[in-house]
Amino acid sequence: MDELDIYVNLQPLDKPSGYPGGRRSTVKCRETFHTLEPNTAGPARSGARDGKKSSYRVAAVCLGLLCLLLLAGLITVVFQYTQGNSEWKMDMALLQTSYNNLTEERDQLQTSYNNLARERDQLQSSYGMLTKELDHVKNRWVRFSRSLYYISSVEKSWQESRDDCRNRGADLVIINSKEEQEFTRGLKKRLWIGLTDRETEGTWRWVDGTPLTKSYWASLEPNGASSDEDCAEIKMYNEETSWNDAPCDDRSFWICEK
Ligand code: 2F8
Ligand code: CA
């Protein structure tokens, strides 16, 4: 901390200086400076102070420019962030729209698929009914007593023949009356019938599980002549007793009943 002593001559204003009757007083003023030194060295010292001041000004201007630069950078960053943010929002909105459209399309496809599946089932059912009707139209089904009979036009094993009958809503024929026996042998064809002892050798049962009570075996049948003969057929149709047991894998025509 520096001190500067200033001495001031005080005189009354209405009397000229040096007036003999006047009283000369001297007041000592003391002033305290914290940063600036008193100009005690004349013009040289004042020039140095001016140089310092201009340095401060330059520094202040630089500082101001730096602040402006920082502000501009900050504004740019904020602008870019805002811009990027809005682009991201637009992308999200587009994605959401695409997702919604795809969901809608998927639902429409699902509906179409369900409708097509329903139509396919209806067509399948119609096809089955038409096939049955065609069979009747072609006289493939013959009515006798209270049943309908289907005589195959191709040959298959006993099991395949039975499967075909079941696919037609029927089964291999069960012969349980003299009239039915006469009707079937009257077809004059070698045919698989719905009788087998595959479950228990020697115990013949009809395809509905009922045991054989009245039989029409040909003479010396069933004999299991060739290896395993577990399925029954109409063979000697010219005889009243016309049945024979034969290997189930042999291929033959068959007769269904429903
Ligand atoms: O003579 C009856 C006898 O005839 C054939 O065997 C030689 C039959 N075999 C086949 O149909 C495969 C037997 O079942 C039948 O008993
Ligand atoms: Ca036999």
Lining residues, ligand 1, CB within 6 Å: 221, 223, 225-226, 229, 244-247, 250
> Sign of the C-alpha dihedral, residues 65, 66, 69, 71?
negative
CA 173 to chain centre: 50
* Atom number, ligand 1, closest to the C-alpha of residue 235: 11
**Confidence check: pLDDT of 8 > 70:** no
Residue extents of the structural domains in the chain: 141-257
pLDDT digits (tens, 9 = 90+) for 82-91: 888 888 999 9
41 vs 145, residue with greater confidence: 145
CATH number of 141-257: 3.10.100.10
CA distance 256 to 185: 14
Q: Nearest CA to 38 among 59, 29, 57?
A: 29
* Atom number, ligand 1, closest to the C-alpha of residue 229: 14
Probe ligand 1: pick from 226, 230, 233, 234, max atoms within 8 Å of CB?
A: 226
Model confidence, pTM: 0.55
And the tokens for 208?
A: 């509905």
Distance 48 CA to ligand 2 centre (A): 142
* Atom number, ligand 1, closest to the C-alpha of residue 246: 14
Ligand nearest to the CA of 235: 1
And the tokens for 184?
A: 């079937």
**Confidence check: pLDDT of 39 > 60:** no
CA distance 108 to 258: 44
